[in-house]
């Protein structure tokens, strides 16, 4: 049997969040690398690799055939979760899209409001907008971790529906999410968010928007607190 490939860092981090024996939906699968890797590694039993385009699905079928997992991974033409039914899967991965598109896909699907469904989300942009959507819709950010890939640093969010009202100030909470700040990559991601908040604060000051200034300053203090958890190792 063909030796198994290595996942890139973003997908490896997603794979680490997937529960054992999950029934997985990989939305925007492209080449189906993640579901194929998870099945061949024995972590999950079955998966549906979905994409909105036939081109990516053909690439997915090629990968599935190459690694002989056709009995475990099926492909599906679907705009997000539109062609999925409740009960088909218990774990949903959406990786490599913008956060606002992810929020739209999730918002169009009512059956994900189920505590037994795990969401694993890797946004390329608009992380704050995605977190805010989750918090306002009753989802808990259970875990979040970051990784470097080339010159970029990314975050992966593990979330689950609880129906709880969430934090009293989701507009501030969405700046930090569930990042602990204990690794170099997490520190770098938090620093990026801090710099963005600082720039927005400057703009709010110029506009005389005191409420936004106060909210951003609160977020910056929390970002600083978490950034301070990681200390660079001294050079020997």
Give domain 9-164's CATH superfamily: Vaccinia Virus protein VP39 (3.40.50.150)
Residues 40-99: pLDDT tens digits? 999 999 999 999 999 999 999 999 999 999 999 999 999 999 999 999 999 999 999 999
Residue 22's alpha-carbon distances to 18, 84, 126, 202, 211, in angstroms, are 7, 16, 28, 46, 44
Residues 138-185: pLDDT tens digits? 999 999 999 999 899 999 999 999 999 889 889 889 999 999 999 999
Q: What b/e string do you get for 49-67 counting C-beta neighbours within 10 Å, with b at 16 or more?
A: bbbeeeebbebbbebbeeb
d(CA 105, CA 163): 19
Residues 176-221: pLDDT tens digits? 999 999 999 999 999 999 999 999 999 999 999 999 999 999 999 9
Cβ neighbours of residue 95 under 8 Å, at least 6 residues apart?
10, 11, 14, 26, 28, 34, 120, 121, 122, 156
Two structure tokens written together for 87? 């009960």
Q: What does pTM read for this prediction?
A: 0.95
């Amino acid at each position: 049997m063909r030796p198994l490939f290595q996942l890139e860092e973003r997908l490896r981090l997603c794979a680490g969040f997937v529960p054992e024996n999950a029934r997985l939906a990989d939305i925007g699968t492209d080449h189906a690398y993640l579901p194929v890797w998870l099945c061949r590694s024995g972590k999950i039993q079955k998966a549906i690799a979905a994409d909105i385009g036939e081109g990516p699905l053909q690439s997915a079928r090629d990968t599935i055939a190459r690694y002989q997992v056709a009995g475990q991974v099926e492909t599906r033409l679907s705009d997000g979760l539109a062609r999925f039914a409740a009960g088909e899967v218990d774990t949903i991965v959406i990786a490599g899209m913008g956060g606002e598109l992810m929020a739209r896909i999730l918002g169009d699907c009512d059956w994900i409001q189920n505590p037994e469904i795990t969401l694993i989300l890797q946004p390329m942009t608009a992380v704050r907008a995605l977190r805010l959507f989750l918090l306002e819709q009753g989802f808990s950010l259970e875990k979040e971790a970051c990784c470097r890939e080339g010159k970029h640093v990314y975050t992966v969010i593990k979330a689950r529906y609880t129906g709880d009202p969430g934090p009293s100030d989701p507009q501030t909470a969405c700046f930090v999410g569930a990042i602990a700040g204990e690794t170099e990559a997490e520190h770098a991601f938090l620093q990026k968010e801090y710099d963005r908040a600082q720039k927005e604060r400057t703009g709010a000051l110029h506009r005389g928007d005191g409420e936004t200034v106060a909210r951003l300053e609160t977020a910056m203090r929390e970002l600083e607190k978490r950034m301070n958890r990681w200390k660079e190792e001294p050079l020997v």
